Structure 1
Amino acid sequence: MHALLEGIIAGLAVAIPLGAIGVLIIQRAVEHGFVSGAAAGLGTATADAAYATLAVTVGAAVGPAIAEHATALHWAAAVVLMVVAVVLARPVWSRGDASVVAAPPDARAASPLRSYAMVLGLTLANPTTVIYFAALAAGPALGAHASGASRAAFVAGVLLGSAVWQVVLAAVGAGFRSRLLTPTARRWTAGVGAALVVVLALRSAIAA
C-alpha cells in the first residue's frame, strides 16, 4: 500500500504541472470530445508508467545510457515533434477554404486510438522522465531492496495518479467544447496545439 501511494504521488507530481502536453490534451478534448481527449491523456499516463517501469527495473543502467546519448535523443525528438506540429497546424493553413474550415473534424483525426498514439509518442519523446522516476525508485520510496510486488505497486500508482489528472484535463476541455467549436475557434485551438508542440521541439533542441 505504501508503494502504491508513493507511485500515485509521483504520477501526480509529474502530471500536474500544466505544460505543453497538458494543454494539448485539453485541445484534443475541445476539438474532438471527451473520449478523444481522455485517450490522449491515457497516452501520457502510459508513457509515465513505461518510464516508471524502466526506472524500477533497470533504472540504474538506463539513466547513464540516456545521459550518454542525450544529444542524439534530444535532436531526434525535436525533429519528430516538428513533424507533429506541422500536422496539427493543418486547420490553420486551410483558413482560406471555408468549406474545409466549416466541415466537422476529420473522423480519423478524432479517433481515440490516434489521439492515444500521438500523445504517447510525444510524451515518450522526453526520455529524461525516466531519470525522474529512477531517482524516486532509488530513494526512500522503494529502496534498493524493494520486493517485486512493491515495485509493481509503485508503477501502478504512477499510472493511476497520472491517468486521473489527464482525464481531469480532458473533462475541462470537453466542458468548454460547445463554446469553442466555431470555425475561428477551431483554427485557434489547432494553432495553439501546434505552437505548444513547437515549444516542446525547441526545448528538446536547446537541451541537445
Structure 2
Amino acid sequence: MPVGPVGTYLVVLTARTSLRIGMFAALGVASADGVYAAVAAVAGTALAPLLVPVVGPLRWTSVVVLIGLAVMGAVKAVRRYRVQRMAVIEQETPVGVRTAYFGMLGMTMLNPWTVIYFAALVLGGSGVAGFGERVVFVVAAFAASASWQLLLAGGGALLGRLLTGHLGKLVTALASTVLIVVLAVRLVA
C-alpha cells in the first residue's frame, strides 16, 4: 500500500508523541475511510454527479492544509532544536487522544485521494446490492484501513524510539516536512 501525505503525517505524529496517540490518530483515518465507504455503499451512483465538481477544490484545500502543517512542523522543529542547543528545556504541548483522532479524521476527510478513491467506487457503482453486503463492505473497508493505519502508527513509534536525540528529531521533522510537501504538490501536479 502506498503511503501518502496523511500516512506520512501519521507516522511522524506517532514518532513525536506516543503509540497511544498514534493509535487514536490511526483510528481517525480509518473512521474517515469508513464514512466514505458507507457513503459509497449507500448512495451508489446517485451521488456520483455531485462528487465530480468538488474533487478539484478538495484537492487544492488538502494541498494547502498539508503544506501548512508541514511548514508549521518544520518551523517548530527548528525552533525546538535551536532552544535545546542553547540548553534551555522547552515543554512541547502534548497532543491528546481526542485531538489526534479528530485531527486525523478531518485531515483524511479533506484528503483528495480518499475522496477520489471512494468517488471512483461511487462512479463505478459500489457493486454491493443488498443491505447485508453493504454492511460487510463498510466494515471491511474500515477494518482494512484501521489495520494499515495502526501498522503505520507502530512504525512511527519504532522510529520515535530510534530517533529520540535532538538532532534525530530535527532531521526527522525536516525530512518529513519535505516528503509531505512533495506528496502534497503531487496531488495537483
Q: Secondary structure at the match of 1:69?
A: helix
Does the CA contact (< 8 Å) of 2:63 and 2:187 recur in 1?
Answer: yes
Residue segments in structure 2 that go unaligned for 5+ positions in a row: none
Query: TM-score, normalized by length of structure 2?
Result: 0.83
Residue of structure 2 equivalent to 1:55: 40
2:93 matched to which residue of 1?
106
- When normalised by structure 1's length, the TM-score is 0.76
Percent of aligned pairs sharing the same letter:
28
Tell me the matched-pair count: 184
SS in 1 for 2:164: coil
Residue 181 of structure 1, CA deviation = 1.2
* Number of the residue aligned with 1:38: 23
Partner residue, 1:74: 59
The aligned residue for residue 27 of structure 1 is: 12
| Correspondence 1:138-149 to 2 at 5 A | 138-139=126-127, 142=128, 146-149=129-132
Q: 1:118: how far off?
A: 2.4
Question: Cα distance 1:100–1:130, how it changes in 2: closer, same or farther (>3 A)?
Answer: farther
Structure 2 CA distance for aligned equivalents of residues 100 and 113 of structure 1: 32
Distance 1:101 1:83 in 2: 27
CA drift at 1:163: 0.4
2:162 counterpart residue number = 179
Q: Which residue of 2 aligns with 1:9?
A: none
3-state SS, counterpart of residue 188 of structure 1: helix
1:50-98 deviations in Å (ceiling 9; x for gaps): 1111111113133322212333222222222222223322333303222
Letter of the structure 1 residue corresponding to residue 44 of structure 2: G
Is 1:134 equivalent to 2:122 in the alignment? Answer: yes
RMSD, aligned CA: 2.4
